[in-house]
């Protein structure tokens, strides 16, 4: 049996524990949609008889009662109601906006009873943007192209009934138009990059710029941007980092 090591962040552990608390009881099958390395899939075996872990690349997880699958969330090759429960955590924010309604429709279609969703909450995707060193295009942090909140999720799963909601963590990660513009001029020197994240425009692997190579003008812009952002954060009330929602499918 091959298992996946725990995340380094205690906050990530808190998020995952909160997600697991929302899982329904008494169900047999679950689809972990966007399973990545299968870390959450391991825990799902404690709640379900059989777990299917699906991602764009087949998860490298070897564990009893877990089936790993290479698949596309926008075109799931399963029958209607194929799984008692669907778990989709930290996925929807990555889906190209034009495909998002299709993906949510597929999730609803293959769920028999419940859908459990987890996403960042009202993320300001101007914070931590990355400039591609290959094509010079600006990418959102962590590859997050969608901003999610309760109203958006309810709209995307409008055929289902929301039955539970939970907020996790607190943060003040907000910026403003001027600070975002100045950091763009400075080359976005402090990006937030996911593992193996690639440019949305050219497909090249993204890498952080070298702050030591910034010109005087870029340094001045970055310092002003940081100052303005700090002032804004001091005046901004805290908001949750993540939102988890459970939707029920009427029978």
| Residue 4 domain flag | no
| Bridge pairing between strands 138-139 and 66-70 | unpaired
User: Residue 34 is part of a domain; what is its CATH number?
Assistant: 3.40.50.150
**Is 52 inside any structural domain?**
yes
Strand partners, 62: 2
Dihedral pair phi/psi, residue 12, rounded to 5° = -65, -40
User: Which pLDDT score, from 0 to 100, does residue 57 have?
Assistant: 94
Residue 83, pLDDT above cutoff 50 = yes
Residue 11 contacts by C-beta under 8 Å, 6 or more apart in sequence?
A: 169, 241
CB-based burial of residue 160 (10 Å sphere; 0-12 exposed, 13-18 middle, 19+ buried)? buried
The answer to whether 111 touches 85, Cβ cutoff 8 Å, is yes
Q: What domain range includes position 21?
A: 10-248
Does the pLDDT value for residue 213 go beyond 90? no
Q: What is the pTM of this model?
A: 0.91
Is 3 part of any domain?
Answer: no
In this prediction, residue 9 carries a pLDDT of 76
Overall number of domains in the chain: 1
Q: In whole angstroms, what is the distance from residue 21 CA to residue 17 CA?
A: 6
Note the pLDDT tens digit of each residue in 13-47. 999 999 999 999 999 999 999 999 999 999 999 99
Instruction: Give strand ranges (E) for the chain.
Output: 29-33, 50-55, 66-70, 83-89, 111-120, 130-131, 138-139, 161-168, 242-248
Residue 152 placed within a domain: yes
Which run of H or E residues covers position 102?
helix 100-110
What are the tens digits of pLDDT across the range 115-164? 999 999 999 999 999 999 999 999 999 999 999 999 999 999 999 999 99
Does a structural domain hold residue 1? Answer: no
DSSP letters, 61-89, are: -B-TTEEEEE--TTS--S-TT-EEEEEEE
Q: Is residue 214 assigned to a domain?
A: yes
Residue 21 inside a domain? The answer is: yes
Give a yes or no: residue 138 inside a domain: yes
């Amino acid at each position: 049996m091959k298992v996946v090591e725990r995340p380094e962040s205690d906050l990530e552990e808190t998020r995952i524990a909160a997600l697991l608390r929302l899982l329904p009881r008494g169900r047999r099958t679950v689809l972990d949609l966007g399973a990545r390395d299968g870390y959450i899939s391991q825990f799902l075996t404690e709640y379900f008889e059989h777990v299917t872990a699906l991602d764009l690349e087949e998860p490298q997880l070897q564990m009893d009662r877990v089936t790993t699958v290479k698949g596309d969330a926008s075109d799931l090759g399963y029958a209607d109601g194929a799984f008692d429960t669907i778990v989709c955590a930290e996925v929807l924010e990555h889906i190209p906006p034009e495909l998002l309604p299709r993906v949510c429709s597929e999730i609803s279609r293959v769920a028999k009873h419940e859908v459990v969703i987890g996403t960042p909450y009202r993320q300001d995707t101007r914070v931590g943007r990355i400039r591609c060193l290959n094509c010079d295009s600006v990418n959102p942090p962590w590859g997050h192209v969608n901003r999610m909140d309760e109203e958006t999720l309810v709209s995307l799963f409008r055929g289902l009934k929301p039955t539970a909601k939970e907020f996790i963590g607190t943060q003040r990660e907000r910026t403003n138009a001027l600070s975002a513009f100045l950091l763009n001029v400075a080359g976005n020197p402090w990006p937030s990059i996911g593992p193996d994240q690639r440019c949305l425009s050219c497909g090249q692997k993204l890498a952080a710029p070298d702050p030591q190579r910034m010109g005087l003008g870029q340094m001045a812009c970055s310092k002003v941007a940081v100052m303005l952002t700090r002032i804004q954060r001091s005046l901004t009330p805290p908001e949750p980092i993540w939102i988890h929602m459970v939707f029920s499918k009427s029978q």
